[in-house]
Amino acid sequence: MNIEIKKSVKPIEYTKAIKYLENRVVEVNNNKSKELIWFLEHPSVYTAGSSYNKSEILDSSINLIKTKRGGKITWHGPGQLVCYFVLNLNNRKRDIRKFISIIENSIIKTLKEYDIESQSDRENIGIWVKSNNNIKKIAAIGIRIKKWIAYHGFSINIDNDLNNYNKIIPCGIKDKEVTNLRSIKNQNYNNLSDKILNNLINNLKI
């Protein structure tokens, strides 16, 4: 497997992580570095993708970082697992929809290992679970493609403070809430990144 696997124990500042990713994209494109899958956690931060709208900011006091990824506004912070990657689709199928499906299916399969049923949504990218008879978002996905190299990644809410989402319209979706795994089922999620990595690698057929 010609992919570097990184797991950061200490929280990584968002801007530092993105700079690292963008540099890695250039190196992978020039065949000077391995592909990357990187698990980490960020300090609390709000980020905006390329299609966000200012009306989705409900609290003007938040510090918003604009990014080059797809999608709208989301929050990252303690209690949330982030998985970034730099994966060269030139070495696989140049099919963005298929690649997103691989990400979605990897998350869905992983959550099933914790006896949590989840699903994707064609209209609203991400992974969703049923909670208290409502469909709520459990994982966000934001991807950018440059010269057929896919980067950025996805995040899964484990036991984060959900009040952070009250300051924005998460991912631009007004009629659906955000939840976390601990609210769905109170159990041990310490091995979540290992299980996701295993499913992601199997689905990518690396």
- Which H or E run includes 27? helix 14-29
Taking the C-alpha atoms of residue 56 and residue 182, their distance in angstroms, rounded to an integer, is 26
The partner residues of 73 in beta bridges, in order of sequence, read: 48
Count of CB atoms within 10 A of residue 175's CB? 7
Residue 171 annotated in active site: yes
Asked whether 45 and 24 are in contact (CB, 8 A), the reply is: no
Residue of 129, 171, 178, 197 marked active site: 171
Asked whether 138 and 179 are in contact (CB, 8 A), the reply is: yes
151 alpha-carbon distance from chain centroid:
11
Interior/surface letters 123-161, b for 16+ CB within 10 angstroms, e for the rest: eebbbbbeeeeeebbbbbbbbbeeeebbbbbbbbbbebe
Q: Would you please indicate which residues are annotated as catalytic (active-site) residues?
A: 171
